[in-house]
């Protein structure tokens, strides 16, 4: 993201996703549902798209793609 000039948008990303991963880096299913995590990430991407391109639809499809490929939905 830094090479694209978007690094500044992600300064608070770790804080926003705090608790989503355990100390070993695995997703913490016992603390957060995967679908809720994916929804939160899509919202963050939409905000970046709004700021950079003026159009949040640039991030549309992220949630559907991830759920279809990783959650079997």
Which letter, b or e, does each residue of 29-43 get, where b requires 16 or more Cβ atoms within 10 Å of its Cβ? eeeeebeebbeebbe
pLDDT single digits (tens) 42-58: 888 888 778 777 777 77
Q: Is the pLDDT of residue 29 over 80?
A: yes
Three-state DSSP class for residue 27: strand
Confirm whether pTM is higher than 0.85. no
CB-based contacts of 37, cutoff 8 Å, min separation 6: 17, 20, 27
The set of long-range contacts for 8-15, using a CB threshold of 8 Å and a minimum separation of 24, is: 9/47, 9/48, 9/51, 9/52, 13/44
């Amino acid at each position: 993201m830094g090479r694209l000039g978007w690094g500044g948008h992600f300064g608070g990303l770790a804080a926003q996703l705090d608790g989503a991963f355990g100390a070993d880096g695995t997703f913490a299913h016992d603390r957060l549902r995967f679908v809720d995590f994916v929804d939160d990430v899509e919202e963050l991407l939409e905000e970046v798209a709004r700021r950079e391109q003026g159009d949040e639809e640039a991030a549309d499809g992220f949630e559907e793609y991830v759920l279809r490929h990783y959650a079997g939905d």
